[in-house]
Amino acid sequence: METKIYSKTKEVIIGDDQPTILIGERINPTGRSKLTKALEGGDYSLVLSEAESQVQAGADILDVNIGIAGADEAALLAEAIKQISATIDIPICIDTNNFGALAAALKAYQGKALINSVSGKQNDLREVLPLAKDHNACVIGLCMDDDGIPEDPDRRARIAGKIIDHAVALGFSEQDIIIDCMAMAIGAKPEAAKNTIKTIKLIKSEFGSLTTMGASNISFGLPDRKSLNGAFLTIAIFNGMNCPIVDVARMRQIALSADLLMGKDPYAGRYTTAYRERKS
Amino acid sequence: METKIYSKTKEVIIGDDQPTILIGERINPTGRSKLTKALEGGDYSLVLSEAESQVQAGADILDVNIGIAGADEAALLAEAIKQISATIDIPICIDTNNFGALAAALKAYQGKALINSVSGKQNDLREVLPLAKDHNACVIGLCMDDDGIPEDPDRRARIAGKIIDHAVALGFSEQDIIIDCMAMAIGAKPEAAKNTIKTIKLIKSEFGSLTTMGASNISFGLPDRKSLNGAFLTIAIFNGMNCPIVDVARMRQIALSADLLMGKDPYAGRYTTAYRERKS
């Protein structure tokens, strides 16, 4: 399966026969007080420099989350989308669970956006999917619903199926619903990684859908997060992960290695080019 | 499946429900002129310090290869085994394709050794297996025969089956034949990693055997070998690799991460302990 998202000037193909697409995770004020303060003051310079450095590090798509408690998220997010789009050319993944902010961001974005996210909650299915369809966007479907995030991969796959069914009924193409297979903290749940990998396999075998996940969640609360995130990302890619949301500067080399090992980079062209670029 | 090898004082369990066992690869003069010269002069101090540093890095078993063109390998290897055994307590993997050296090393070793290796070549099956059986050793069975190393995983598995059949006919327990699934340079063969992983899966499904490989081969000729080796090792462990032969100092953290992700390290006890030891 394969889909495309694009900005005004750049197209990204996400597909099973394509190299892994990396969605940069770092434009997100959660736990980052400097970024929060700057945004509260209407200062987008930090957001723009973060966007630029993620592009430099090799991000294919930029996740943009501007959720700050008490702030006017719709205004902040729309403005961030505008300013980022004027500065960098890669497509944006609009990351919000605020319906008004999503509507404002989609209005501000020029191109085919990726939306992060719709869940299997009745309210999301009713509100977010039609709005996404109106804007011809791709949507990340989370394997969670009104009962929370199930651990069981079969239950996760059932929620994914429900989201896909709703979307197709609204006129979406199947490939425009990208399933988030849910990575959880392994420090709390020893089966967390296995459950994500099983979910990826199930999603591929049952629906053939494209897949994503917030890869860094796996190492929450543990030391040496880079090693663990890298190992997890590698296994996930090998099992069908198409466009993970990651800290690109830390994970690009891992993704290049995994693509090479999967036979997606014959004679190591991308791998060695990236190595030379890092060294120069 | 599960087996044990041991030195005079230390036992190591290799098994599917056990943490990954790391066989240290660095006692090998190939391409290391200092080590070669020292050994030619009968000086084992470098070998002993390398052995010690691999134990410090977390090696569970030590691969010992003393192959030097023109030297009396039987005498050198037997002496190396004696000196290493007197200095460190972990079991040894005797690595030679010289029959006389293997016989001398097995005589010098006290415990249940691991032998690296027997292939599917008629000569190996006839000579090496009976000698190994006489010494109650475990043997690594290479998926190659008189026709070389096949790329096709099915053909590799057939060779493994032939070695296992011969060994069992001689009285070996199945678990004492550990199959080397063969890692080859991916820079030359784009399918190399996939072929190794498929071989691991086949070996597990057809024979249930324990598995090993020389993990570093995959990155031969490529830059940033550590990244690529790490990604490959991670995928291999997740698919059933039990006791890879690796540069332990570089790969231990990877193996700990992979074990944690597989649910073999509940609540990350080994992972965090190793982290603290590195930091202290």
Q: In a 10 Å sphere around its CB, with 0-12 CB exposed, 13-18 middle and 19+ buried, how is residue B231 labelled?
A: buried
- Please state the ipTM of this predicted complex: 0.93
- Give every residue of chain B whose pLDDT is below 50, as ranges: none
- Give every residue of chain A whose pLDDT is below 50, as ranges: none
Rounded to a whole number, what is the distance in Å from the CA of B261 to chain A's nearest CA?
5
Q: State the pLDDT at residue A196.
A: 98
Q: What distance in Å separates the CA atoms of residue A266 and residue A272, rounded to the nearest whole number? A: 11
Contact yes or no for A268 and B238 at CB 8 A: no
Q: State the pLDDT at residue A30.
A: 86
Chain A positions touching B268 (Cβ under 8 A) are 186-187, 222
Contact yes or no for A261 and B193 at CB 8 A: yes
Q: State the pLDDT at residue A71.
A: 87
Cβ neighbours for A238, distance < 8 A, ≥ 6 positions apart: A258, A261, A262, B197, B235, B238
Strands of the sheet containing A61-64, edge to edge, are A211-212, A177-180, A138-142, A114-118, A92-95, A61-64, A23-27, A245-246
Closest to A186 (Cβ–Cβ): which among B187, B231, B261?
B261
Q: State the pLDDT at residue A278.
A: 83
Task: Kindly state the DSSP code that residue B26 receives in the 8-state scheme.
Answer: E
Chain B positions touching A235 (Cβ under 8 A) are 234-235, 238, 258, 261
Contact yes or no for B271 and A238 at CB 8 A: no
Both structure tokens of B66: 């003393």
Q: State the pLDDT at residue B10.
A: 97
Query: CA torsion, points A51, A52, A55, A57, in degrees to nearest 10?
Result: -100
Q: State the pLDDT at residue A15.
A: 98
Q: What are residue A141's DSSP bridge partners? A: A118, A179
Q: What is the pLDDT of residues B35-77, one digit of tens each?
A: 999 988 889 999 999 999 999 999 999 999 998 888 899 999 9
| Best residue in B186, B254, B267 for a mutation probing chain A (most A CBs within 10 Å) | B186
Unique residue bearing structure tokens 């066992």: B21
Q: State the pLDDT at residue A280.
A: 78
Residue contacts between A and B (CB atoms, under 8 Å): 98
Q: What angle do CA A152, A156, A159 make, to 5 degrees?
A: 145
List residues of chain B with CB under 8 Å from any CB of chain A. Answer: 186-187, 190-191, 193-194, 197, 218, 222-224, 227-228, 230-232, 234-235, 238, 253-254, 257-258, 260-263, 265-268, 271-272, 275
